[in-house]
C-alpha cells in the first residue's frame, strides 16, 4: 500500500494519458488514425494493469495486462483495421465539433472527481475505494465510460460507434481493476472475449451496410422509420 | 414457508447447455455432407434438451437444486422453467421454419450452407440460453446474456437486406451498450459483496442474495439502477425499447416469434436474478420498477395503435406486456414473482402464436403484413384466424384464456403492496390491448379484401398450422386449468424467494 501511495503520481499520469488517448480516439476524423489512438489507449490500459501488479504485488494483474495486450492492443485494432480497409478513410462528419467534446470530457472528469472526493461515502463499497489512487482511477474510468456514451450519441460514423463501444468496455475494465483487483483472470478473459466478438459482429454489419447502402453514416439508417 | 432444499452436484447443469451447443455445431458441420439431416438433427437436439429440462424440473419440484462446476452452475425451479420454455419454443420454431424459411429466402440465398446456419444458430442460441439459466456466477450470467444477443443478431440479419442490417445494427449497439451497464452493476455488486464475503463467494448470486441486506444502501440502489437499464434494454422495457420494433419486424417471422417469446425473456430472467436479490430490502426499487413498468405498458399500447405493420404492432404489444412481467418480478413478493413468471410463460405462448399467425398470413399473401392491405382473410384462412383470435384474446386478458389468470394474479399482487395506481394502469392497459388487437383482427380477417391480389389466398400449410394449434391449445388449457402450471411456477417462485433468505413474503 505504501508503494502504491508513493507511486500515486506516476499511476495517475498513466491514467491521464489513457484519458487523453481516449479523447483522441473519439475525435480524430481519419479512421486509421483513430484506430491507432485506440491502440495507444489500450496499451496504456495494459500499462496501468502492469503497474498496479508491480505496486500491489497482485501478480495475476500481469496476466490481465498480457490479455489486454493480446486482445485490445492486438486483435481488436486488427479487426478495425481490416474492416476499415473496405471503407472510405474519412469518417462521416460528427454532429458536434472538437470544442464541445473537450468541454464534455472536462465537465465529466471534474464532476466525477468532485463527486467521488466529496460524496464517496454515499456509494463507497469499501475502505480501499475511499483512498487514492482508487478515487482518481475511478473518476477517470467513469469519464472514459461517459466519453464512450458521448461518442455513441454524437458521432455518425459506424466505425466510430464501434470505437465508442470499445471505449465504454475499457472504462468498465478500468473500474473493475480500480475497485476489485482480486477478481479472477478468467473473468477478465471472458469479458474481453465478449468485446472481441461484439466488435467483430458490429464491423461485419458495418461492412454489409456499406456494401448495400454505400454509406457508413448511421443517421442515414432510416429505412425503418415509419 | 419452510421447505427443505437439498443441493446436489450433478452433470445436468453442464449437459443442459452442452447438448444443444453440440447439436448446433454438428448441424453446421454435418449439414454440408447430409442435406436432409439438418431439420431432424435440430429436432433431436431440442428434444434431448427438453428431456434434460424435464429431469431438472422434476428434481426442482422434488426440492432438489442441482449444481455443477463447483457451484458456478446452479439449476433450480426458475432455471427449469426457462429451459423448458426454450425447448417448447425451439420445437415450435423449428417445425414452423421447415416450410417458412426456404419459401421466404431469395433464390440466390437458398443454399444448404445458409439453411445449416439457420438451424445451427437456433440450437446454439438454445444452448447459451440454457447456460444463462444455469449461471450462478455473475460474470457467466453477463456473458451468456450477451451471447444470446450475438446469436440472435446473426439470425435477425438472416435475409441480408438493408432493413435487416439496420435492425440488427441498432439491436447490437443498444443491447450491447445496455448490457455493459449491467456489467457495471455487477462490478459494484461484487465490490460491495467483498466487504462481507470472501472473494470467490462474492461472485455467486446465491451468496450475494443471502447478504443483500448488509450491502451499503446507496450502492445497492445504484447497482439496481444499472441492472434495470442494462437488462431492461434486453427485455425491451420502455424507454430502452428502441431496438425492439425494428428487430421484431425485420427478422424472419419464426425468429420474431423467438425474439418476442424468448429473447426478451432473457432480459426478464436476468432482472429476476439480480433485482429480486435487492428488491425486498429496498422498497425504493419496488416503486421505481413499478413506475417504469406501468408507464411503459401504457405508452407502448398507444404506439401500437398507430401501427399499420402487423409485426410492428405485435412488437409494441411485447413492450407493453413486458411491463407486466417486470412489474410482478420487481415486487419481490411471492405472489408478485408468481404472477410475473406466470405471465412470462403465457406471454411466450400467445405472442409466439400471434407472430406465427402473422407469418402464416405473410406466407399465404406473398409477404403482405400491412393491415391496410389486408381484409376478409377469415373465410380463406379459418384456422389461422382462430389461432390469431385466441392469441389476441389471451393477450387482452379475456377470461377462460391464460392471459386473464396471470394478469389477475399480478393485479392482486400489486394491490397487496398498496400500489393501487399500478393495478389501475394495468387494467386500463389490458382493456386497451384487447381493443387494439380486436381492431387489428377485425380489419385483417373480416370485411372485404383491400387488395385484389388476395383473392387467391389459401390456408397456410400444415407445418405452419401445427405449431400454432399447439400453442393455441396451451393458451386455452392454461386458461381453463391454470393449476397445470402450478407445480413448476410455484417451484420457480419459491426458488427466488428462498434465494432471498426468506426476506420476501
The H helix count followed by the E strand count for chain A is 9, 0
Say how many C-beta atoms besides its own lie within 10 A of residue B431's C-beta.
13
Per-residue pLDDT tens for A2-47?
Answer: 555 566 778 888 888 999 999 999 988 888 899 999 999 999 999 9
ipTM: 0.89
Q: How confident is the model at residue A123 (pLDDT cuts 50, 70, 90)?
A: low
Per-residue pLDDT tens for A193-218?
Answer: 888 999 999 999 999 988 888 888 88
Contact B80, B53 (CB under 8 A): yes
Q: How far is A7 from chain B (nearest CA, A)?
A: 24
d(CA A119, CA B299): 36
d(CA B181, CA B192): 17
d(CA B430, CA A200): 42
Q: How confident is the model at residue B314 (pLDDT cuts 50, 70, 90)?
A: very high
Lowest pLDDT segment from A12-21, A145-154, A182-191, B257-266: A182-191
- Name the average pLDDT for chain A: 83
Contact A190 B162 (CB under 8 A): no
pTM of the model: 0.91
Contact B246, B236 (CB under 8 A): no
SS percent in chain A: helix, strand, coil, step 5? 80, 0, 20
Nearest CA in chain B to A209: B165
pLDDT at residue B457, rounded to an integer: 86
Edge-first strand listing for the sheet containing B6-9: B6-9, B64-68, B73-75
A125 contacts in B (CB within 8 Å)?
A: 188, 191-192, 194-195, 216, 219
Q: How do the domains of chain B map onto residue ranges? A: 6-499
Pairing relationship of beta strands B64-68 and B6-9 according to DSSP bridges: parallel
Q: How large is the average pLDDT for residues B39-48? A: 92
* Dihedral of the alpha carbons of A139, A145, A148, A150, in degrees to the nearest 10: -70
d(CA B181, CA B228): 9
Q: Which of B167, B172, B249 sits opposite A198 (nearest CB)?
A: B172
Q: How large is the average pLDDT for residues B336-345? A: 94
Contact B249, B309 (CB under 8 A): yes
- pLDDT greater than 60 at residue B375: yes
Q: How confident is the model at residue B127 (pLDDT cuts 50, 70, 90)?
A: very high
Q: How confident is the model at residue B4 (pLDDT cuts 50, 70, 90)?
A: low
Q: How confident is the model at residue B286 (pLDDT cuts 50, 70, 90)?
A: confident
Q: How far is B412 from chain A (nearest CA, A)?
A: 35
Per-residue pLDDT tens for A67-82?
Answer: 999 999 999 999 999 9
Pick from B422, B430, B440: which is nearest to B404 by CA?
B430
Nearest CA in chain B to A222: B166
More confident position, B465 or B112? B465
B143 contacts in A (CB within 8 Å)?
A: 190-191, 193-194
B316 contacts in A (CB within 8 Å)?
A: none
Per-residue pLDDT tens for B462-498?
Answer: 999 999 999 999 999 999 999 999 999 999 998 888 7
Lowest pLDDT segment from A1-5, A117-121, B368-372: A1-5
* A interface residues, B as partner, C-beta within 8 Å: 122-126, 129, 145, 149, 152, 158, 161, 165, 168-169, 172, 175-176, 179-180, 182-184, 187, 190-191, 193-194, 197-198, 201-202, 205-206, 208-209, 212-213, 218, 221, 223-224, 226
Q: How confident is the model at residue B86 (pLDDT cuts 50, 70, 90)?
A: very high
pLDDT at residue B1, rounded to an integer: 38
A209 contacts in B (CB within 8 Å)?
A: 162, 165-166, 169
Nearest CA in chain A to B202: A183
Whether residue B175 has a cis bond before it, omega within 30° of 0: no
**The three three-digit cell numbers of residue A182, written as one number:** 482480486
List Cα–Cα distances, B433 to B298, B301, B319, in angstroms.
9, 7, 12
Residue B236 DSSP label: T
A176 contacts in B (CB within 8 Å)?
A: 187
d(CA B376, CA A70): 61
d(CA A157, CA B87): 40
Amino acid at each position: 500500500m505504501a508503494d502504491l501511495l508513493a507511486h500515486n503520481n506516476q499511476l495517475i499520469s498513466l491514467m491521464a494519458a489513457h484519458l487523453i488517448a481516449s479523447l483522441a480516439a473519439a475525435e480524430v476524423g481519419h479512421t486509421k488514425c483513430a484506430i491507432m489512438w485506440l491502440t495507444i489507449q489500450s496499451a496504456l490500459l495494459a500499462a496501468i494493469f502492469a503497474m498496479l501488479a508491480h505496486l500491489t504485488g497482485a501478480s495475476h494483474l500481469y496476466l490481465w495486462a498480457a490479455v489486454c495486450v493480446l486482445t485490445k492492443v492486438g486483435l481488436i485494432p486488427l479487426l478495425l483495421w481490416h474492416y476499415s480497409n473496405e471503407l472510405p478513410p474519412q469518417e462521416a462528419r460528427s454532429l458536434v465539433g472538437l470544442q464541445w467534446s473537450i468541454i464534455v470530457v472536462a465537465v465529466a472528469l471534474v464532476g466525477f472527481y468532485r463527486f467521488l472526493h466529496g460524496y464517496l461515502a454515499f456509494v463507497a463499497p469499501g475502505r480501499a475505494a475511499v483512498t487514492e489512487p482508487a478515487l482518481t482511477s475511478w473518476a477517470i474510468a467513469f469519464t472514459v465510460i461517459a466519453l464512450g456514451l458521448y461518442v455513441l450519441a454524437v458521432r455518425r460514423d459506424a466505425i466510430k460507434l464501434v470505437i465508442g463501444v470499445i471505449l465504454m468496455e475499457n472504462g468498465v475494465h478500468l473500474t473493475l481493476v480500480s475497485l476489485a483487483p482480486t477478481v479472477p483472470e478468467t473473468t477478465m478473459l471472458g469479458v474481453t472475449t465478449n468485446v472481441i466478438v461484439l466488435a467483430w459482429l458490429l464491423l461485419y454489419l458495418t461492412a454489409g451496410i456499406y456494401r448495400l447502402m454505400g454509406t457508413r453514416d448511421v443517421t442515414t439508417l432510416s429505412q425503418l422509420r415509419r | 414457508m419452510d421447505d427443505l432444499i437439498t443441493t446436489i452436484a450433478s452433470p445436468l447443469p453442464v449437459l443442459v447447455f452442452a447438448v444443444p451447443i453440440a447439436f448446433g455445431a454438428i448441424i453446421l458441420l454435418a449439414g454440408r455432407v447430409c442435406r436432409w439431416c439438418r431439420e431432424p438433427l435440430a429436432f433431436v437436439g431440442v428434444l434431448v434438451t427438453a428431456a434434460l429440462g424435464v429431469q431438472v424440473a422434476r428434481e426442482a419440484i422434488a426440492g432438489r437444486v442441482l449444481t455443477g462446476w463447483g457451484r458456478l452452475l446452479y439449476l433450480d425451479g426458475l432455471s427449469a422453467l426457462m429451459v423448458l420454455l426454450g425447448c417448447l419454443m425451439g420445437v415450435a420454431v423449428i417445425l414452423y421454419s421447415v416450410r417458412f424459411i426456404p419459401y421466404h429466402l431469395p433464390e440466390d440465398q437458398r443454399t444448404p450452407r445458409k439453411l445449416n446456419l439457420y438451424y445451427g444458430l437456433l440450437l446454439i442460441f438454445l444452448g447459451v440460453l440454457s447456460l444463462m439459466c444455469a449461471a450462478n456466477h455473475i460474470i457467466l450470467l453477463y456473458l451468456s446474456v450477451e451471447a444470446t444477443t450475438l446469436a440472435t443478431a446473426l439470425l435477425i440479419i438472416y435475409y441480408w437486406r438493408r432493413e435487416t442490417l439496420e435492425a440488427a445494427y441498432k439491436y447490437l449497439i443498444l443491447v450491447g451498450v445496455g448490457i455493459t451497464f449491467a456489467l457495471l452493476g455487477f462490478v459494484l455488486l461484487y465490490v460491495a459483496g467483498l466487504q462481507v464475503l470472501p472473494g470467490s463467494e462474492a461472485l455467486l448470486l446465491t451468496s450475494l442474495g443471502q447478504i443483500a441486506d448488509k450491502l451499503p444502501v446507496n450502492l445497492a440502489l445504484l447497482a439496481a439502477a444499472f441492472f434495470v437499464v442494462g437488462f431492461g434494454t434486453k427485455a425491451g422495457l420502455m424507454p430502452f425499447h428502441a431496438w425492439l420494433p425494428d428487430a421484431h419486424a425485420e427478422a424472419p417471422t419464426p425468429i420474431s416469434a423467438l425474439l418476442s417469446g424468448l429473447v426478451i425473456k432473457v432480459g426478464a430472467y436476468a432482472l429476476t436474478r439480480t433485482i429480486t436479490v435487492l428488491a425486498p430490502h429496498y422498497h425504493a426499487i419496488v416503486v421505481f420498477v413499478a413506475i417504469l413498468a406501468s408507464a411503459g405498458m401504457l405508452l407502448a399500447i398507444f404506439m401500437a395503435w398507430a401501427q399499420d405493420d402487423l409485426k410492428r404492432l405485435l412488437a409494441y404489444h411485447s413492450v407493453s406486456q413486458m411491463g407486466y412481467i417486470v412489474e410482478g418480478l420487481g415486487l419481490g413478493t411471492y405472489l408478485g414473482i408468481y404472477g410475473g413468471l406466470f405471465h412470462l410463460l403465457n406471454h411466450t405462448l400467445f405472442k409466439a402464436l400471434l407472430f406465427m399467425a402473422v407469418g402464416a398470413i405473410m406466407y399465404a399473401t406473398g409477404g403482405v403484413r400491412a393491415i391496410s392491405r389486408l381484409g376478409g382473410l377469415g373465410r380463406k384462412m379459418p384456422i389461422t384466424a382462430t389461432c390469431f383470435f385466441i392469441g389476441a384474446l389471451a393477450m387482452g386478458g379475456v377470461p377462460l384464456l391464460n392471459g386473464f389468470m396471470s394478469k389477475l394474479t399480478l393485479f392482486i399482487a400489486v394491490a397487496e403492496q398498496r400500489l393501487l395506481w399500478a393495478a389501475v394502469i394495468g387494467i386500463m392497459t389490458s382493456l386497451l390491448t384487447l381493443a387494439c388487437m380486436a381492431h387489428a383482427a377485425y380489419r385483417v380477417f373480416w370485411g372485404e379484401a383491400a387488395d385484389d391480389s388476395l383473392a387467391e389466398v389459401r390456408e397456410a400449410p400444415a407445418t405452419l398450422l401445427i405449431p400454432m394449434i399447439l400453442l393455441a391449445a396451451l393458451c386455452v388449457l392454461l386458461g381453463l386449468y391454470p393449476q397445470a402450471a402450478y407445480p413448476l411456477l410455484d417451484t420457480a417462485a419459491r426458488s427466488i424467494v428462498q434465494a432471498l433468505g426468506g426476506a420476501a413474503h
